[in-house]
Amino acid sequence: MILKIAIGLAVLLAVFAVATAWRAGRMETRAEAANPPTGAFVEVDGHPVHYTVTGDGPDLVMIHGASGNVNDFDIALIPLLSDRYRVIVFDRPGFGYTPRLGDDAASLAEQARLLADAAAALGADRPLVLGQSYGGSVALAWALERPRGTAGLVLVSAASNPWTTGIGAYYQVLSSRFGQWLGVPVLTAWTSDRVIDTTLDYIFAPQDVPEGYAEAFGARLSLRRAPLRENALERERLLDEISAQVVRYPAIRVPVEVLHGTADEIVPHDVHSEPLARQLPDATLTLLEGIGHMPHHVATGEVAAAVDRAAARAGLR
């Protein structure tokens, strides 16, 4: 009897896994059809990197946060800056339309070197680099890995310093072998629009999600299997990487503008940006009162002003 039950459960699990894989592929196809690549590709050592270029002027590279893509900046921030900067935005490896570097998550340093080399291939040898959230961690690594290839930094809600709260059950499961094998396809296949809306509400809180953001950003691009796997592994390893990186911050000698919302509960300003401003030799901290994790959408004027200040301090304008 027990053997029959075990066999029955195994069959049900197999059927569910097959159905999930089929539906996951279908959802990925739909997501890519709704939000196809908007830019072009540049190869770095044979690895394609998806990018967009808008405007003319001093080079400004933008690096998106966790589970992001180039569309995140195109919605609100690029239109404020493209009249006076050549704005280059990359999909980080594993996200948008830039493939993963391998089955393992790319480190901050690996991502920084890849994107810096991609920028140089586009003629941006010494750009101003803006990074948001996880992208801010990569921007800091860029300045450390390519100090002569960085004019200055603009760090928006950047994860920069060690924290003590752990990663939570969600990332613990998804970064495990079981989570990578079954949990990720389940999320790709079966996540509802309501869950997406709830997640975006959390990310933007206490501000409202801009109307039409989920569609313009391409939220379901982030629910494809490759981005989910990459994001989970990145998040699982970020604390160790930040802990190793933080001791090197005094070596960053370029001008840095640090912006952070005081209502950001995802990357708290007192844990990250306030100590960061003291660790960097040439940093200016701007706290945005009552703003959450997404200032580049809800306080775009302040972010654009910080870019102008960094460019002026770097002698680019």
DSSP string, the chain: -HHHHHHHHHHHHHHHHHHHHHHHHHHHHHHHHHS---SEEEEETTEEEEEEEE--SSEEEEE--TT--THHHHTTTHHHHTTTSEEEEEPPTTSTTSPPSSSSPPPHHHHHHHHHHHHHHTT-SS-EEEEETHHHHHHHHHHHH-GGG-SEEEEES---S--SS--HHHHHHHTSHHIIIIIHHHHHHH--HHHHHHHHHHHHTTSPPPTTHHHHHTGGGGGSHHHHHHHHHHHHHHHHHHHHHGGGGGG--S-EEEEEETT-SSS-TTTTHHHHHHHSTTEEEEEETT--S-HHHHSHHHHHHHHHHHHHHTT--
Q: Does 97 map to a domain?
A: yes
Is 122 a member of any domain?
Answer: yes
Q: Does 15 fall in a domain?
A: no
Q: How far is CA 231 from CA 48, 117, 175, 193, 260, in A?
A: 19, 22, 9, 20, 22
- Inter-residue contact 138 to 106 (CB < 8 Å): no
Domain assignment of residue 198, yes or no:
yes
Task: Classify residue 9: in a domain, yes or no.
Answer: no
**Mean predicted lDDT score pLDDT of the chain:** 95
Structural domain contains residue 292: yes
Q: What span, in angstroms and rounded, lies between the C-alpha atoms of 126 and 315?
A: 12
Asked, for residue 25, whether it belongs to a domain, the answer is no
As a whole number of angstroms, the distance between CA 176 and CA 184 comes to: 10
Mean pLDDT of 42-55: 98
The whole-number pLDDT of residue 14 equals: 74
Task: Retrieve residue 46's tokens.
Answer: 């044979």
To the nearest whole percent, how much of the chain has pLDDT over 90?
92
Judge whether 10 lies within some domain.
no
The two tokens of residue 35 are 């939000």
pLDDT in tens, 273-298: 999 999 999 999 999 999 999 999 99
**Predicted pLDDT of residue 113:** 98
pLDDT band at 317 (very low <50, low <70, confident <90, very high): confident
Q: What is the CATH number of the domain that holds 165?
A: 3.40.50.1820
Into how many domains does the chain fold? Answer: 1
Count CB atoms within 10 A of the CB of residue 243: 12
Q: Which region, left, alpha or beta, applies to residue 21 given φ > 0 means left and ψ of -120 to 50 means alpha?
A: alpha
Domain span including residue 142? 33-313
What is the pairing mode between strands 40-44 and 47-54? antiparallel
- Dump pLDDT digits (tens) for 102-151: 988 999 999 999 999 999 999 999 999 999 999 999 999 999 999 999 99
pLDDT recorded at residue 92:
98
